[in-house]
Amino acid sequence: MIRVSSPHITDEDVEAVTRVLRSGMLAFGPVGEEFERELARYLGVRHAVAVSNGTAALYLSLKALGVGPGDEVLVPDFTFFATASTVLLAGATPVLVDVELETYTVDPSQLEEAFTDRTRAVVPVHLYGHPVDMEQVTKIAGERDAYVVEDSAQALGAEFRGRRVGGLGHAAAFSFYPTKTITTGEGGAVATDDERVADAVKLLRSHGQRQRYHHVELGWNLRMSDVQAALGLSQLRRIDRMLERRRALARIYLEELSTVSGLRLPVEKPWARHAYNLFTVWVEGEGARDRLALFLRERGIETAVHYPVPLHRQPALSGARRARGCCPNSEEASRHVLSLPLHPGLSESDVLEVSRCVKEFFKSRGSA
């Protein structure tokens, strides 16, 4: 089976984790602190705070910025559930905004129209690894004194006008789930240049204690362990090689599938550097996406749909509200997108085989 995604684990990763296990010091400590320093340096920010997962990173970013009851937070309708659920968990109201269909990221013109006097923050999502047009987003938010929290879960290493995402807003949330650019198994981080935000996240991730057993406010146990951090630190040290591998495999797909009629390929804007956390195509024709997925599965090729249900149709998000005009693009995307296999463990022949099978499918239906 050619997997759609898979963590890239090396002997060095295993040795790094083993050293921590043998030390007997497994909870968050010196290795976690080193991981935080190296991640901040890589991102070009002053602070990176390691937490238990990407959802915690989003939630703690909002809480650290003071987002809460009575506030509205603008989020794209086409994204993972946690982008909006964390807003509700913080006590605020998510306002769902449509995306544009070239990069599947939030449409700045729709974003501008969705602002009200209750809007406290915007959460642009760098979906699939392609950055949002942050110049427009930060301009729109800045004119209205709103915070910008980058959902960078899928975009570690992506760049906007030569700057890595994660340092373009007031805070940013990263995920290190096994499908992401680097992994810690489960894990996440908040990146920020604001010392007050970093301090608040550190406080809230550890039961609100400034020193052991001295609690100044209510918090949670949302820490990362040194076992996880050891894996992350080892992976971070070869992130550039892994990113380039993803981009090289993506180039093969783009070349091989460029002439297939009925298939829309990912784009990379002139101002962007795509991290290709996912290689997501648009399959034209009603029901064709699902038929292609079945066709590939029968040939030993795994695919995935990111995402089959837009946020406005999620029962658990009934407390959200839709901005005016939302969300025809999101609805369309949910019916047509399909993620093909892409991860550093793939060989060039794997990608060529996937491409061959995709072309075979379209040829068999008279579309190639």
Instruction: CATH number of the domain at 105, please.
Output: 3.40.640.10
Among the candidates 236, 260, 289, a domain finishes at: 236
Residue 202 included in any domain? yes
Same domain (yes/no): 229, 271: no
What pLDDT is recorded for position 368?
44
Indicate if the pLDDT at residue 70 is higher than 60.
Answer: yes
Give the pLDDT mean for 238-248: 98
Q: Which of the listed residues 236, 267, 287 is the one where a domain comes to its end?
A: 236
143: tokens are: 């004119």
Range of the domain at 206: 11-236
pLDDT category, 367, cuts 50, 70, 90?
very low
On whether the CB atoms of residues 293 and 303 are closer than 8 A, the answer is: yes
Distance CA 232, CA 239 (A): 10
Cβ neighbours of 121 (radius 10 Å): 25
Average pLDDT in the 59-80 region?
A: 98
Residue 227 lies in a domain: yes
Same domain (yes/no): 185, 314: no
Query: What sign does the CA torsion over 297, 299, 302, 308 have?
Result: negative
Domain-embedded: residue 4:
no
Q: Within a domain: residue 20? A: yes
Mean pLDDT of the chain: 97
- Residue 263's φ and ψ, nearest 5 degrees, are -130, 125
Query: What would the two tokens of residue 336 be?
Result: 């047509």
> What is the 8-class DSSP label of residue 132?
P
Question: Nearest to residue 265, comparing CAs of 248, 279, 247?
Answer: 279
Same domain, 202 and 323: no
Does 116 have pLDDT greater than 60? yes
157 within a domain of the structure (yes/no)? yes
Mean pLDDT of 248-256: 98
Task: With both helix axes pointing from N to C terminus, report the angle between 348-364 and 239-256 in degrees, rounded to the nearest 10.
Answer: 30
Total number of domains in the chain: 2
**Domain check: are 215 and 256 in the same one?**
no
Q: Are 148 and 141 within 8 A, CB to CB? A: yes
The reported pLDDT for the residue numbered 127 is 98
Does the pTM surpass 0.95? The reply is yes
| Residue 37, number of CB atoms within 10 A of its CB | 13
Strand stretches in 108-257, DSSP E? 119-122, 147-151, 159-160, 163-164, 171-175, 188-192, 209-211, 214-215
* Dihedral sign for Cα atoms in the order 108, 114, 116, 119: negative
Half-sphere exposure of 33 (CA within 13 A, CB side): 2
348 and 220 in a common domain: no
Whose structure tokens read 């990263």? 174
Q: Which of 205, 208, 229 is nearest to 57 (CA)?
A: 205
Same domain? For 186 and 244 the reply is no
In this structure, the answer to whether residues 155 and 67 fall within a common structural domain is yes
Cα separation, 287 vs 280, whole angstroms: 16
Whether 283 and 339 have beta carbons less than 8 Å apart is answered as no
How far is Cα 368 from Cα 353, in angstroms, rounded to an integer?
17
Q: Are residues 143 and 290 in the same domain?
A: no
Q: Mean per-residue pLDDT for 316-321?
A: 96
Give the domain-ending residue among 236, 260, 294.
Answer: 236
CATH no. for residue 345?
3.90.1150.10
Grade residue 246 by pLDDT with cuts at 50, 70 and 90. very high
Based on the fold, state whether residues 232 and 255 are members of the same structural domain: no
CA gap 81, 91 in Å, rounded:
16
Q: Look at residue 130 and tell me whether its pLDDT is greater than 60.
A: yes
Residues 124 and 171 in one domain: yes
262 beta partners: none
Same-domain check for residues 141 and 259: no
What's the count of helices (H) and strands (E) in the chain, helices before strands?
A: 12, 16
Q: Judge if 61 and 201 occupy the same domain.
A: yes
Q: Is the pLDDT of residue 366 over 70?
A: no
Model confidence at 364: pLDDT above 90: no
